[in-house]
Amino acid sequence: MDTDILIIGGGPSGIITALTARHCYPDKVVTLVRREKFVVIPCAIPYIFGTLRDVEKDRIPDDVLRKAGINLVIDEVKDVDLESKRAQLVGGDEVSFDKLVLAVGSKPALPPIEGINLRNVFHVVKDPEHLVKMKKELDKAEKVVIVGGGFIGVEFADDLSRAGKKVTIVEMLPHVLSLSFDTEFGLMAEEELKRLGVELRTGVKVRRLLGEDFVNEVELESGEVIDADVVILATGAKPNTDLAERMGLQVSRYGIEVDEYMRTSHPDVFAVGDCAAKTDFFTRKKKFAMLASVATAEARIAGWNLYGIKALRKMRGTLGIFATKVGDLYLGVAGLTESIARVEGFDYVVGESTVPDKHPGTMPGTHKIRTKLLFTRVGGFFLGGQIAGGPTVGEIINLVGFAIESGYSAAEYVNLQIGTHPYLTPPPTTPATLTAAQDALTKIYGRK
């Protein structure tokens, strides 16, 4: 089989690369190879087990590729010869290509815990067959222990507790969501989890998993033993660099090394998504950021630059903008948290506000929105933001992310014209993020 552009990997980054390449280079043949029969939406995996109740309901339709004229091959690439530009498939076929994009994702970062290979111990992967098996056991389970209190672990706990399971989260850090939010936001999440009936064990590690064949207990380093029918390992992921290493590409613990145009160490090979190394927007240090929003942004950049560099189409650094939900609490973050800014030595000012998300505050369904924004002390430029409140948080944090990427200062931001509506937004007199930005300006310049 011959193709102009070969994309290995069928997740969001692979799909968006294919669609972008097809749009930008309509005369080129685009082929996507993936091993999964169908592709799940990664961000919705925690909601398969309680809300959606079916793995099939969490899928990206293949029609989006076929309607664009993209060749879809269900197989696995076992090796790539860069000299001859040929990919060898497990099924025996070969694919010759001109340009290659690696969108091979990540794999679980499994902790060295005794008993990890017992039955009914599941890690979180994007493989539909694995998720079907996982759902079958979770449907029967009464007691579930989740190892890891990051956003995946918290979202699993949220959904499973609503489905009537007795859920316990074990997190070795002092609070849940500690790697993503400042402590006060983690505490809000913990209070909401407790309201849902989720048990929390923070600041403690798992010593081992116990059972004959199936797991039935989780022993903590504190000595406590917790009953478990199923254990979910939500302990993070690491870039899948196996194929890239065999190809001789430059890789690190952060992933396949790429430039701002998503090119690897080989000029005709690009990498996008979880498998590609990330550079922090502010510190310029390497970082992990395994988010579909980041992956698809990289995919659009790679797709545009396959045949000639477009100077304005480049990755300027990874912000890490995302939102999550815990019970009735919604949380969003963009850019630096205060804890990271402090460690990195930034001279910053915090602007804060708490306002209703509807107006007047007596409107049905009103939530309080708590906003925390970080600005440089000199010049008042955006460094980051965190928001807690109701369902509007997802879009508000995207506005903060836009302001950061656009280089807004607090003074410019407070002059934004923002549309309002009683059911949809805070009052025009106290828009959430503008009010927090004004608070920061007062701290920087006084009340003059």
What 8-state DSSP symbol labels residue 149?
-
Neighbouring CB atoms inside 10 A of 156's CB total 26
Q: Which amino acid is at 201?
A: R
Which parts of 139-284 are beta strand (E)? 143-147, 166-171, 199-202, 206-210, 217-220, 225-227, 230-233, 237-239, 251-252, 255-256, 269-271, 278-279
Which parts of 75-224 are beta strand (E)? 77-81, 86-89, 94-96, 99-102, 106-108, 121-123, 143-147, 166-171, 199-202, 206-210, 217-220
Q: How far apart are CA 345 and CA 439, in angstroms?
A: 22
Q: How far apart are CA 41 and CA 35, in angstroms?
A: 15
89 close to 33: Cβ distance less than 8 angstroms: yes
- Length of the chain counted residue by residue: 448
Tokens 């959904």, located at residue = 159
Tokens 């001279």, located at residue = 347
φ, ψ at 442 (rounded to 5°): -65, -40
Catalytic-labelled residue, pool 19, 43, 231, 334: 43
Residues 6+ apart with CB under 8 A from 100: 5, 6, 7, 8, 80, 85, 87, 268, 269, 270
38 torsion bin: left (phi>0), alpha (psi -120 to 50), beta (else): beta
Give the chain's radius of gyration (CA, Å).
23
What percent of the chain is helix, strand and coil (3-state, nearest 5)?
Answer: 30, 30, 40
Neighbouring CB atoms inside 10 A of 63's CB total 8
In the annotation, is 24 catalytic?
no
15 torsion bin: left (phi>0), alpha (psi -120 to 50), beta (else): alpha
Q: How far apart are CA 202 and CA 41, in angstroms?
A: 29
User: Vertex 275, ends 20 and 126: CA angle to 5°?
Assistant: 85
| Catalytic site positions | 43
